[in-house]
Amino acid sequence: MPMREDPLPALEVRNVSLSFKGVKAISDLTFQVERQEICALIGPNGAGKSSLLNILNGVYVPDSGEIVFEGEHFRRMHPLEAARRGIGRGFQNNALFSGMSVLDNVIAGLSRHSRATLVEEAFRLPRARGEERRFRERAHEVLRLFDLERHAATLVGTLPYGVQKKVEIARAIAAEPRLLLLDEPLAGMNAAEKQEIAAVIARLNTELKLTIVLIEHDIGIVLKLAHHVVVLDYGRKLADGPPEAIRDDPDVIAAYLGSEHAEIAA
């Protein structure tokens, strides 16, 4: 478990509920994520995991409850405000611009932090030129961190899926978030690609001191990677604790892991 100098958690979800046309997606959910922790959300499809990430980065507004991010209380946070406050987001399906280069995709992750006006950009005024230079330098730094520099000029759509996923995560951290939300970052990958991306996530946590909340179905990866696991059961919290406690929880084993995963965990 990472060392924590600040006593305040990075994130608190307090009594959050969300419904769609009367159907409960999340029901009175409460848990917290410590700073510099990897927290995994697990549960079946429809358990409310992606809906929760959408609340955390401002896409959805909860019916009730609140989010506390680094000590600040929010009922609702717009996506742009969330990004500027230090919340980054990666998506289950690569939300990349396939016809753009790797470098330009990473730069696109910085555009929401631009302060230059449309006029300044249109006429290439000093502030716009300065931002463009800083964004390009930052994008190259991130590509080097992910060993993607050799792909900088390559069109994203021509790259293997596993490399594209690295590009998406690189874009998410380009703006230097303090909390990174990842929605099934290993989905659709073979075993080797899963191990590579899991290693990237672990490095982001240890080297960049990032707090990470991720959704993942591969229980073997979760048990090795996460410091903390929250199990959702149709919008309700079934279990919440360290991986070893979740692994041995009979309700979790019965509901989600099944005999095969229980044997692997044992």
Q: What does the pLDDT read at residue 125?
A: 62
Please check whether residues 124 and 243 belong to one and the same domain. no
Given this model, what pLDDT does residue 264 score?
46
pLDDT of the residue at 136: 92
Q: Residue 248: in which H helix or E strand, if any?
A: helix 243-248
> Do 182 and 172 share a structural domain?
no
Pick the last residue of a domain from 176, 201, 219.
176
- Predicted confidence at residue 137, as pLDDT, reads 93
Secondary element (H or E) of residue 16: strand 11-20
Within a domain: residue 91?
A: no
CB 107 within 8 A of CB 136: yes
Give 227's contacts (C-beta < 8 A, 6+ positions apart).
1, 2, 34, 37, 38, 39, 242, 243
Cα-based angle 237, 221, 97 (whole degrees, multiple of 5) = 90
Which CATH number covers residue 236?
3.40.50.300
140 is a domain residue: yes
pLDDT of residue 126: 63
Return the SS3 of 4: coil
Domain shared by 63 and 119, yes or no: no
Q: Is the same domain home to 17 and 43?
A: yes
Mean pLDDT by 10 residues, the chain (266 residues): 68 96 94 97 89 95 96 88 90 84 92 63 63 89 94 96 92 93 92 92 94 94 95 92 90 66 48
- Structure tokens that stand for 239 in this block: 């279990």
* Whole-number Å distance between alpha carbons of 176 and 261: 35
Say whether both 187 and 264 belong to one domain: yes
Instruction: Write out the residue range of the structural domain in which residue 133 sits.
Output: 97-176
Tell me what pLDDT residue 128 has.
Answer: 66
The number of distinct structural domains making up the chain is: 2
**pLDDT value of residue 262:** 47
What's the CA gap between 5 and 7, in Å, rounded?
Answer: 6
Strands of the 23-33 sheet, one edge to the other:
23-33, 11-20, 64-69, 72-74
> In whole angstroms, what is the distance from residue 29 CA to residue 235 CA?
8
What integer pLDDT is reported at residue 207 of this predicted model? 93
Q: What is the pTM of this model?
A: 0.86
